[in-house]
Structure formats: structure tokens, C-alpha cells
Structure 1
Amino acid sequence: MSSIHCHFSSSRWQECELPDGRGHVCGSVWLDGQRLSPGSALKQLELADDIGAWRQHMGELNGFHALVRRTGNGMVAAVDRVRSIPLFYGMRGNECYLSDDADWVRQRTDETQVDDEATADFELAGYVTGRDTLFRRVKQLRAGEALIVGDSGQGLDLSLERYYRFDYHAVAERDDSRRLARLEEVLDAACDQLVKTANGRQIVVPLSGGYDSRLIATLLARCQYPRVLTYAYGYRDNHEAKVSREVARALGLPWTFIEYSQEAWSRVADSKEYWRYQRWSSGWNGIANMQDWLAVKLLTEQGKVEPGSLFVPGHCCVTGFVPPSVFEAKRAGQTMPPGELAEALRQRHFTLNASDEGDALFRERVLPRLALDYPLDEALEPDEFIRQFVLFGWQERQAKFIVNSVRSFEFFGHDWSMPLYDRDFMAFWQSVPNHWLESRSGYVSFVEELFAEVSGHQAPLGNAAQQSRQSLRARLSRLAAFRRGPGASVKRLAKRLMPGLARGNTLASTGRFPPEALERLRSQGYSHNGVAAQLFLERFCRS
């Protein structure tokens, strides 16, 4: 007889008695504009004879949640479309273990073996691709996926159902006026759901110099939500913070600034709290996204945010990272050659070690894993190339690194929401013309016009984060031309000629690394996040 074990360590889970068993809900489930009660949310997990219809119904759910339903010797568990609340599972003998705590699963499955192939992903991307984690027996549900466990009579019967994929399908229609009206409609609905979720609580917006958080702040200002705090962080007088302050001022929203410095990071970098967060938030799957962590810690300790506030980061499904070459190929009526997708994924996602050794690791260890899920050796039509590239970004980097950064809000006792991962907003972006993905042009214009309308600030403020990166690269390119001619490597010159500039960033967060370890790993070709990945592995997996 199978034995199903299920454990939840998070206090945010609600347990619910069902007529045929028990269930657990974390987060909020919305359907047709209404928030479902825990019992109604768990009812959505009832399996149907028509599994295709069941998948379609699951895909209609909105909100940010994870659900577990146990009946007899069976269990169904699901994460939402962006894996905002991760679930991990593992098997040992005839028992299945499920938890939101990856280390609990590791301990129950008696796993001590680190997976070398998974570690290669972690070293180069900062997360493990697919369903794997750093430990062989510890698996994870992917974004938009459900786990179904039953008793076959001869042991456990385990299956996985992917009920949602962020598949991009280009459309030829160029009626942007109708499309813009639809975009505003879905954003209004997402903002309305956000206000209902907040229910009068303080909403806290990490307001960068970019477009996504600016859109959220603009929507909140337009609906006149009464309790909003915006904030920025980084080293004193950084350009992004200046733009953030100007956006908040124009919208009439309160704004505060948290100064980051090498010293501020070094004061916390060796604390138990810092490493406890690193281990817990990783899920044995990815490095912690730390950029908000120090700001949330200080805002909470200083009493600038209220307990249980709702943080609303500008995490967004709209990618601006599709390679320009694919749009050029589309206009020229050409296909993308075999191997081009692999190279595009390497250059965008597997960059934590840009050395020859890092490239060899990618070719030998990572590519064979990717080839199991992606058509890396095929010539692809541009639209299919974009679909595959966007699919990878959604289910890997966005779900496991960007979205997972909300753990920093949870860690300090706050709630969170991400309206730019709303169901209908994501559906909108699954079928837009190519020119809307090329540099996010349609989206950028929409945000600028909406901001001007709400704030009265007519001069475009641009994307401060992108401007900072472009400015740094331009300066390094000029140095490259001066020092070694037009073919000089910008990255190598950044390391050799301008170590202070190349290693610094708006967050001043190199201060969280021991200087000797930073120097050692930088000399081996590791980027900032590459150093973080290596130190994590050295502390937790290689001791």
C-alpha cells in the first residue's frame, strides 16, 4: 500500500477539510474576477475524466498560489502559471514527499548526492533548468504544472500535467489602436484585483528607473489608492534613484530612499540571518535574488513599512531580450540557422562565467540537457525561434530567479502581488505582432503615454536602468578602441582596465563578498551573480 506524506512548513498555508480528504492552500486563487474561498479553490483540483478539459479549466485560474489536495492514498498538487510559490517533491521507496521546503524533501528522501549536470546549470545561469534541483532526488514543479500521485495497486503512480505554457504566437494584424485599448482593459482589471487583494493595507512599490514598476505606480496613482509607499535603493545619487524620485513626485506618491554601500552589505553578509535567507529562498534550485533584500530589511527595521504590507514589484512577463537578429531574419524572409537558438540562450541566460572554461562547461554539460526540451539543432522560422526563446525565459529565468525574489518580502513578514503576471495580461502578450516584442516598443509607448496622462509630466523619462548599462558599455567600448583597436573585448577590458567600475553596480553589493573570494572568482571569469553562485555551492554543497 502506498504511503503519501505531505508537509508544509510555511505558516501562510491554510488547511481545509474536504468531504473526501484534506487540502492546503497558499496564496490566493481568483476565477472570473472573484477570489475563491480555500474550499472552492481546492475544488478546482478535482480531476476530470477528460484530462484536456481539466487542464483548460486549471489554466483559467488567476492569482498567485499553490494548491494541494489529498484524498485517500492519492494527491494532486499544483503551482500557478509563474511558480510564484514553489513546490518540491521526491520519492523514496514507496513513499512520496511534497513540501514548499526543498530541504525537508531532501532530508526525507535521505539525499546527499549533488547532481553534477544540475550544478553546471547553477554555475552558469544561477538556477537549475527543468524539474531538477541541485540534489538528485529533490524535484520541483515547473511553472503551470500539476503533480498527480495515486496508488496503482502495485506502488505509487506519479504523473505530471502541464496545464499552462507561455507560448508566443505572432499575429499579423497591425491595428495597434484596438490592441492598446485591450491592453488598458486588462491592466485596469489587474489593478482592480490588486486593490481588492490589498484590502486597505499599505501597498509598497519598489520603484526603479524602468518602465514596469513605473506602470504599477501610475495605475495606483490613477485609481487613487490612498496608502502607497514607493522606494528606491542603491548607492547615493545613482541615476535610477533620481528617475524613481521624479516619477513618484510627478505622480504625487510618497517616496523614500535606502542607501546601499559596500559597508552596509559587509555588515550583514556574514550574519546567520543572511545565510538562512540564502539557503531557504534557494529551494536547492537557484541563487537568491538579493537586490531588494537589504532594502526590505532596513525598511522593516526602521518602521517605514507596516507589518504585513503588500509589496508590489514590477516583475513582468514582457521580455525585451529577444535577439535583434531574429527580427532582421523575419524581415528578410530568412530562417534562423541550426545552433542559433543554443547560442542565443547561452549569451542571454548562461553568462555567469564568460571564460573559455565557462564556455566548455556549457557545451559539455548544459547543452545536452537543453537539447532534450528545445530544438537546438534545427533551422527555425523566426516566429518559432521567438516562441522557444520566450518559453525558456518564462519557465526558467523568470520563474526561478525573477519571480522567486518575492521570497525577500516573505522573509521579513510581508505579502506580495505581481499584477504584471496577471492571467489576462500574460494572455495579451502571447499573441502580439513581432514589432511589439522588438525592444518592447508598443509597451514602452503605452507606459510613457499613460504616465504623461496621469502625472502631467510630458517629457519622457526613459528607462534609467537601460541608460546606465548603455552608458557603461559605451565608455568601455571607447576604452577598448583606444587600448587595443576596434576588436578589443569590452568584457575583458572591464576586468583589466577598470576593475572598480566593472565590479561596481548600482547596488554596491560586491561588499557582500569576502574580498579574497571575490578576487579569486573574478580572475576565473565569474560575473557578480557567478560569484554568488560559487560561494553558495562552496558553503552548502561542497563542504
Structure 2
Amino acid sequence: MFLLMPATSVYFEWLSAQRIYSPFRLTRHGHTGEILRSSLGGACVPCRDWGGELNMAPLFVNTPSDGRPRCVELMASPSVVLLCSTRWEVQNGVAVRGQGVADGKRIGALELAKLVESVPPRAVGSLMGKLAGSFAVLDAREPGVVRLVSDMVSSMPVYYTLDGSRLTVSDDSVALAQETGCLSEIDSQASLAMLLAGFTLGTSTICRRVHCLQAAECVVLTCKGSYWASTQDDLFSWEWRPDGGHTDDYWFSAWSEVLNDEFEDIITELDGRTAVIPLSGGHDSTLILLMLKRLGYEKVVAFSYGRRGNQDSTVSERVAAALRVPWFFVEYGTETWRQFLSSRDYNNYATWAGGLRSIAHVGDFVAVRELASGGRIDAGSVLIPGHTMDLVSGGHIPLQWQERLMTGSGSVTADDIAQITFERHMGLWNRRFAIATLHQTGLQVAEANDLFEQLQEELCPAGGVVDVVEACSVVDAFDWRNRQGKFIANSVRVYDWFGFDWLLPYWDRRIIDFWLRVPPELRLNRRLQKNVTFQIGADLGIDLHQLGLPSVASLARNMSGLRLRQIGRVVPGVRLILDVERKRRCIARDPLGAFEGWPDARERRLLWQNSPSPTINSLASLHASRLLQNGGKA
């Protein structure tokens, strides 16, 4: 694990019995360090050489010969920042990771750090809140104050604990929990949310004293003498602001221009490096590939993975072939999953990547490992996944509200908002099973109704009734801050694990700002996004619909499926049939084949019996709850 260290630091490795995982180890060779990834058997990534004196206020950790970090006195208070990634630029009390867009120019971490230094500490949140890009900022220039700032989707997580006079900040939640001795202090309600949804709510993690920085947030930590206090400032308001004064043609042209600007910046950032696209066969990853080809960038490869012949990979291969892009496929079988899920690699990665705030993405771990170790992805490549245009372009609008959006009338109660949010996100397991599972670990968990009431309070603190557009804003904002920020965008931890750079083009601030202005009728069924994608494909001479990409679904089709589910809720026989069919379809259509390969037969049976919609995420959440509550041992 890499800490901010003086140049005299010596080799150490987090493999002692006191450490529950070891994603990598640091060794110093003369003037150059190397990160040796255990899962790649020696593949390495360059590490910055920290020479000279480090005058960084609290940003300092002393690592003596036993390898255990020591806190140093800061402002009459023991405080420490543990930075485990090698990607941070640190200077003059400021630490920055990532890249951003300032004045129309994409800049790296070093330039971002200088930009932060150019403004007073109190203005850092306002400055970074206006920037596009993926970044995290720690600013400790002001005596007695530490500021933490995240990007639009908290793509580079930061965590902190406040324990009386002691402040600890880290980009690694498990290292933080171990260093502060609170790894065993489990938050029961956060654990219930993790099991039901796959992620925690708000700033909570499953460790009671460890807090996470949320998406587009500035946390100000202030020393009050004998204790530290925290305040949170939102840097972005997710609010639909439909602009109805334009034609469809205007919006088609405007979206095309936004895409051109974004991908021209991405090509500048790539700077000749190979762009690697995880091509799912859906619209979002396909659009990334189309835009790179449209703008003439040729150093592009794509890959897919899963069961041979799965529909997603079939469409992926067709699209890549039509665009003459090299395409790789990593086949997953039952044995693939059994070997991986029983390995130390899995336990190490899952514990680290989830960050105590979500389950870890494991779907593409084996694929990236195989492609990297086989030399099909070179070390300088940049991975560009399609997360998550589905949300911003209208793919998560509740079916129950679509007719009201079309007519522009109707209202929604606070109870309706909370109910839809709970049903959408808290369905990895049945509630009774989740509570009983946590009780078996010794946690005293309140009824799931308490979690529902927490949602009500967070989503609609004033209660009452709102119009349907405002209701959609509230539901989307919860999705953005919690599911997207903690779980979906966190899939890039796979790329971090193997030392690759990555970009998240769809979480650029400019793209979010655009879509919040788009009228509801163009967001329903992702009409604007899909039609523009099909048109760009046609401009490049390919028919995406013929290749297998789904077209825009009709509102009538959506409503028929909704009404069938509503009938199932009141007619027991119909409900049972629908439940069994949904479970069968989830397992049969799983492109990864993870259900058959899950090594624990008992957990597979529990999945069928107790999960409304069985997926690998359900099994991963169960495994995560057991792994983390048993000190990191499976």
C-alpha cells in the first residue's frame, strides 16, 4: 500500500495477519518505485518518485521499519492522510488526483493542483464544482481546516473518520478502518442497505465511524480544539429544468454538438494511446465507439466477455466488425467463476474495491485480467466504459409516471416517491431474509420499515405532494448520489486494480447540464439518445438496428408490462407465476453465467428462494456482508 512517504522509505508489504487484504505492494528500487500487482504476477505500473522534503501540513505519514503508519501531530491534534494510490499529485498542502476541463482545455492532476493553489482555500469547493472531469481534491492549506472535494460521481473515492481530536482521511476505506481500529464497528442499518441494494445510503459506510465523500460534494473538516467537526456542501443540484421552447431537430443537433465537444477533449486526453472500449452491445458503449470513429481516432479496440453466444457479446462483435475495430472475447464458463470466486484474488479485490460503501463489480475482472496478461491490452491503454448514459438520458423514469409526463399533468406524493425508490433499489433480497441474515452475524437490525422511513426523510423531508417532473428529479438524484456514485461508476476500480487509466465521458458536467434541460418527451424511452446513436451509425454506413441494437420502445408496450405487474400484486396466482418466470428469465438470460458458477451451492439455493430478481449482485452482496463482518475472511 502506498502512503505519502519520504524518499528514504523502505520495502513493506501489507500481508501481515493484521491486514486483511493486499491489493499490491510497494518496493523501492533506487530512484524509481514500482507497484507490483499480485494478481498479474509481476506486471507493473510506474510510480512517482517522492524525493526531497515533503512540506504538506497534514499530508504526511511516517512509515518506520515495521511498516505500520504513524500519525504525526498537526495543529495540536493527531491527524493523518493515507493516500494509497500512486496517482496523487501532492504539493504545498494540496493533493489532487485525476483530470479536469478548465477554460475548454483538459488538464492533468499536476495542473489541477496548481489551479487549486491559485484560489483561496474557501473558494476551492466553488472552483471544483464548476469543472468537468474525474478528480478528487484534498486541501489542507488553511490552518485547522481540511477540505475534501469530489467530482460529479465520486469516481475517485475519499473517506474520513472523526474521532474526538483525531482526524484521519484516506482514499482506501479498509486501510482507514484498520488504522483507526474501527473495522469491527459495524453499522447495522448501513449493512442492511448494502444487502438489499448493494450500496449504503448517504455518507455512511458499513463501518460506523468511516464516512465517504458523496458525488459532487465538498466536505469541510474543521478543528475545534478538542474535536473535529464536519459540514457538507452540495456542489451540484440534480434538478430537471426542461426547456420546451425548441424543436426536436434543435435537440438532435445540440446533442450532436455536445458529443463532438466531449469526444474531441477525450481524443486530446488519449494523446495517441489505445482506447479500449468494454462493448456491451448496448447503446451507450456503442456510442463511444461511434464517436471515436466519427472523429477519426483509429487506435481503438473493443472487447466483450461472458457465456459464448450470449446476446450482448453477439451484438458487440457485429458492431465492432461493422466499424472495422479489433474485437476480443473472453469466454466465461462454470469453471471460470468457480476458480475466480474461490481465489484470494477475489477476496482481496472485493474487500478493497467495495470501499465499505458498495459491493464490488466483478463482471469484467477476469476479462481485463486475461486481456492484460495476454498482451492484448498494452500497459498504456485507456479504458472507456459507457457508464451511465442510461440514467441521464431518461432510462430510469418510473413506468408509473410516464403517462403523466406525456400529458404534463398529475402529482406525486412523498410516499409514492419513497415506495418507488425502495422497490427499485432495495430488491437484491427479500427484506425478511436480509434481516435474518444480519441477525445471524450478531447485528441487531431494525425492521426494513426504518430504512423506508429513512428514505422518506431524505427524499422528501417536507412531505406533501409534488409535480411529476420534480418527483423524477428526486428519484434520479437519489440514484445519482447513491447507486451511480457508489456502485456503478465504482466499476472502474477493476481498471485501477490492474493499473490502467480510464475515462467516464458520460459523467462530464457538460453532458449532465445538457440532459437536465431536455424535455421529458425526448427522455422517455431514451428517445433522443437512441435516435441520435442510430443516426451517427447511419452516417458511418451501418444499420445498428439490423446489427441487433434495440430501437425505441413504445409507451403502450411499457404500460402493458406495468399493468400486468399491477395485476400480479392483487391476484396471488398471477403473482406467483410472474415471480417464477422473472427468476427463471434472470438466470437464463444472464450473459455472464455466474449463477451456475457460483461455488457455494447453498447460496445458489438461497438466491432462488429469497431474491426477487436473482443476479450476481445479489450473491455478491451476500458474500460482501459475510466477508466484511468476519474480519475480511471468506
TM-score calculated relative to the size of structure 2: 0.77
CA contact (8 A) 1:42 1:69 kept: no
CA contact (8 A) 2:89 2:113 kept: no
- Which of 8, 21, 28 is 2:83 aligned to? 8
For the residue of structure 1 that corresponds to 2:412, the secondary structure is coil
1:466, 1:279 → 2: CA distance?
39
The answer on 1:239 being equivalent to 2:319 is: no
- Which of 93, 96, 120 is 1:25 aligned to? 96
**Aligned ranges for residues 109-120 of structure 1 at < 5 Å?**
109-111=180-182, 112-120=184-192
The answer on 1:351 being equivalent to 2:427 is: yes
1:252, 1:519 → 2: CA distance?
44
CA contact (8 A) 2:90 2:113 kept: no
Deviation (angstroms), 1:225: 1.3
- Which of 590, 615, 629 is 1:505 aligned to? 590
Q: Give the paired residue count.
A: 527
Code of the residue aligned with 2:97 in structure 1: it is: C
**Aligned ranges for residues 186-205 of structure 1 at < 5 Å?**
186-205=258-277
**1:327 aligned partner:** 402
**Aligned ranges for residues 27-106 of structure 1 at < 5 Å?**
27-36=98-107, 38=109, 40-45=111-116, 55-71=125-141, 72-106=143-177
Q: Which moved more, 1:255-264 or 1:351-360?
A: 351-360
Deviation (angstroms), 1:154: 5.3
Partner deviation per Cα, 1:339-366 (whole Å, 9 max, x = no partner) = 1111211221111014665699774231
CA contact (8 A) 1:315 1:420 kept: yes
Partner deviation per Cα, 1:100-141 (whole Å, 9 max, x = no partner) = 000122123321211111011101100001000000100000
Code of the residue aligned with 2:351 in structure 1: it is: R
For the residue of structure 2 that corresponds to 1:135, the secondary structure is coil
2:546, 2:98 → 1: CA distance?
37
Question: Per the alignment, do residues 130 and 489 of structure 1 end up closer, same or farther by CA in structure 2, a change over 3 Å counting?
Answer: farther
Question: Per the alignment, do residues 254 and 145 of structure 1 end up closer, same or farther by CA in structure 2, a change over 3 Å counting?
Answer: same
2:261, 2:220 → 1: CA distance?
32
CA contact (8 A) 2:164 2:227 kept: no
CA contact (8 A) 1:133 1:139 kept: yes
**2:22 aligned partner:** none
- Which of 332, 338, 342 is 2:418 aligned to? 342
Question: Per the alignment, do residues 38 and 206 of structure 1 end up closer, same or farther by CA in structure 2, a change over 3 Å counting?
Answer: closer
1:398, 1:332 → 2: CA distance?
28
2:348, 2:607 → 1: CA distance?
23
- Which of 164, 169, 174 is 2:241 aligned to? 169
Q: Which moved more, 1:438-447 or 1:166-175?
A: 166-175
Residue ranges of structure 2 left out of the alignment (5+ in a row): 1-75, 437-445
The answer on 1:211 being equivalent to 2:283 is: yes
1:344, 1:207 → 2: CA distance?
30
Structure of higher RCO (CA pairs closer than 8 Å, 6+ residues apart): 1
Question: Per the alignment, do residues 91 and 109 of structure 1 end up closer, same or farther by CA in structure 2, a change over 3 Å counting?
Answer: farther
2:381, 2:332 → 1: CA distance?
22
2:266, 2:278 → 1: CA distance?
15
Partner deviation per Cα, 1:171-204 (whole Å, 9 max, x = no partner) = 3234122222221111111111211221111110
For the residue of structure 1 that corresponds to 2:411, the secondary structure is coil
Code of the residue aligned with 1:96 in structure 2: it is: L
CA contact (8 A) 2:192 2:434 kept: no
Partner deviation per Cα, 1:225-257 (whole Å, 9 max, x = no partner) = 121111111111111111111111111211111
- Which of 436, 444, 457 is 1:372 aligned to? 457
For the residue of structure 2 that corresponds to 1:130, the secondary structure is coil
Deviation (angstroms), 1:91: 1.4
Code of the residue aligned with 2:298 in structure 1: it is: P
1:57, 1:447 → 2: CA distance?
33
Code of the residue aligned with 1:9 in structure 2: it is: C
**Aligned ranges for residues 402-441 of structure 1 at < 5 Å?**
402-441=488-527
1:173, 1:455 → 2: CA distance?
33
For the residue of structure 1 that corresponds to 2:241, the secondary structure is coil
CA contact (8 A) 1:47 1:54 kept: no
Residue ranges of structure 1 left out of the alignment (5+ in a row): none
CA contact (8 A) 2:285 2:386 kept: yes
Code of the residue aligned with 2:469 in structure 1: it is: D
**1:221 aligned partner:** 293
2:447, 2:514 → 1: CA distance?
34
Code of the residue aligned with 2:629 in structure 1: it is: C
**2:628 aligned partner:** 540
CA contact (8 A) 1:240 1:465 kept: no
Q: Which moved more, 1:165-174 or 1:390-399?
A: 165-174
1:41, 1:165 → 2: CA distance?
23
TM-score calculated relative to the size of structure 1: 0.89
Question: Per the alignment, do residues 356 and 491 of structure 1 end up closer, same or farther by CA in structure 2, a change over 3 Å counting?
Answer: farther
Question: Per the alignment, do residues 251 and 359 of structure 1 end up closer, same or farther by CA in structure 2, a change over 3 Å counting?
Answer: farther
Code of the residue aligned with 1:147 in structure 2: it is: V
Q: Which moved more, 1:64-73 or 1:116-125?
A: 64-73
